[in-house]
Amino acid sequence: MESNYNLETRFQERIDREEKIEARDWMPDKYRKTLIRQISQHAHSEIVGMLPEGNWITRAPTLRRKAALLAKVQDEAGHGLYLYSAAETLGATREQMIEDLHTGKAKYSSIFNYPTLAWADMGAIGWLVDGAAIMNQVMLTRTSYGPYARAMVRICKEESFHQRQGYEILLTLCRGSEAQKAMAQDAVNRFWWPSLMMFGPSDKESTNSAQSMKWKIKRKSNDELRQQFIDATVPQAEILGVTLPDPELKWDEESQHYNFGEIDWDEFWRVVKGHGPCNEDRLKARISAHEKGAWVREAAVAYAAKQKEIADQKAISA
């Protein structure tokens, strides 16, 4: 039996050579645990993320908008399923992951604990929230764990559709009446800062980051990704003609980046710890959907058992 020291050294060498780690490969326990936590958290975010937008499907202003929003929300369900499956390859069970979400043990992205108050919020979410998610997810297409990286490739294609449909909603509103412009501006004002918080605590505070970078689970730090998002988004705001609610936002010639104001980290931690405007509602909605769906799961299991019985009988009589 090889010593753990050797196994870990060889594991790191494979990562350094840019080899993908696959489900059956040896991996340090902490690598497995970190990935299960991260992937399941990501899966929960996709599923809980359906709630704020699902709220607007019946109120979309046109049939075209309704079809696009419906497709987008369905995509998010699909993302959740790919990700739960990716976490299962590491030995996590679906039941345990769902249980951890429902009991509050597992987290999901705090952005979904903010309410969607107006139609323009669908635009702001697509543009800013999916836009911020893409920054993170494009990086994850190159993450060291194979099943996670491959799930991300497909997810990213769909995310760019989400971002564009959001931007187009805002573009239409910004070219519309004064009231429509004001609605778009208000949505951007409410979602700007929470979107920046999606990248997580600053690098000085982020405890797991160094190890995740070494294992190439992450390839860019929270602050790097946040800066990249801001740099890409400010010019898009200019095209829309909306302002971003940060008086300190300013292009810096020297660094070739935008400078920006201080994030309200008290608010960030408050929402992470369960005290955001919608934390309770979101969990209630998830638990209720899970309970109401129990008969579907039971019927699927009963059907699978029946099919197996028929197949077994055929095999015996053959």
Choose the stretch contacting Fe ion; rule: CB under 5 A; options: 25-33, 69-77, 164-172, 229-237. 69-77
- Please list every residue from 119 through 138 that binds Fe ion, using CB under 5 A: 130
Question: Binding Fe ion by CB under 5 A: which of 39, 48, 65, 76?
Answer: 76
As measured in angstroms, the least distance from the Cβ of 75 to Fe ion is 6
Query: Backbone phi, then psi, for 216, in 5-degree steps?
Result: 55, 30
- Residue with smaller CB distance to Fe ion, 48 or 244: 48
Count of residues binding Fe ion (CB under 5 A)?
Answer: 6
Q: Which helix (H) or strand (E) holds 252?
A: strand 250-252
| 318 vs 312: CA distance, rounded Å | 10
Please choose, from the candidates 114, 111, 118, the residue with its C-alpha nearest in 3D space to the C-alpha of residue 59: 118
Nearest CB to Fe ion, comparing residues 79 and 190: 79
Minimum distance from CB of 113 to Fe ion (Å)?
17
Least distance from C-beta 130 to Fe ion, angstroms? 4
Indicate the pairing of strand 250-252 with strand 257-259. Answer: antiparallel
Torsion of CA 64, 131, 101, 118, to 10 degrees: -50
CA distance 142 to 311: 41
Least distance CB 17 / Fe ion (angstroms): 30
**Phi, psi for residue 110 in degrees, rounded to 5:** -65, -20
Closest approach, Cβ 134 to Fe ion, in A, equals 8
Does position 286 interact with Fe ion (CB under 5 A)? The reply is no
Closer residue to Fe ion (CB): 31 or 49? 49
Among 42, 162, 216, 218, binds Fe ion (CB under 5 A): 162
How far is residue 28's CA from residue 61's CA, in Å, rounded to a whole number?
51
Closest to Fe ion by CB, 15 vs 135, is 135
Between helix 178-197 and helix 130-140 the angle, nearest 10°, is 40
CB-based contact 1:7 (threshold 8 Å): no
Nearer to Fe ion, 161 or 269 (CB): 161
| Site stretch for Fe ion (CB under 5 A), options 111-119, 145-153, 157-165, 272-280 | 157-165
C-beta of 40: minimal distance to Fe ion in Å?
A: 15
How far is the CA of 186 from the CAs of 60, 118, 160, 230, 270, in angstroms?
18, 9, 23, 19, 23
Cβ of residue 308: shortest distance to Fe ion, in angstroms?
A: 34
SS3 state of residue 259: strand
Q: How far apart are CA 219 and CA 140, in angstroms?
A: 8
Least separation in angstroms between residue 161's CB and Fe ion is 8
Window contacting Fe ion (CB under 5 A); options: 75-83, 219-227, 251-259, 305-313: 75-83
Which one of 42, 79, 181, 226 is in contact with Fe ion (CB under 5 A)?
A: 79
- Convert 120-184 into a string of H (helix), E (strand) and C (coil): HHHHHHHHHHHHHHHHHHHHHCCCCEHHHHHHHHHHHHHHHHHHHHHHHHHHHHHCCCHHHHHHH
Of 44-52, 63-71, 146-154, 294-302, which segment contacts Fe ion by CB under 5 A?
Answer: 44-52
Residue ranges that bind Fe ion, judged by CB under 5 A:
46, 76, 79, 130, 159, 162
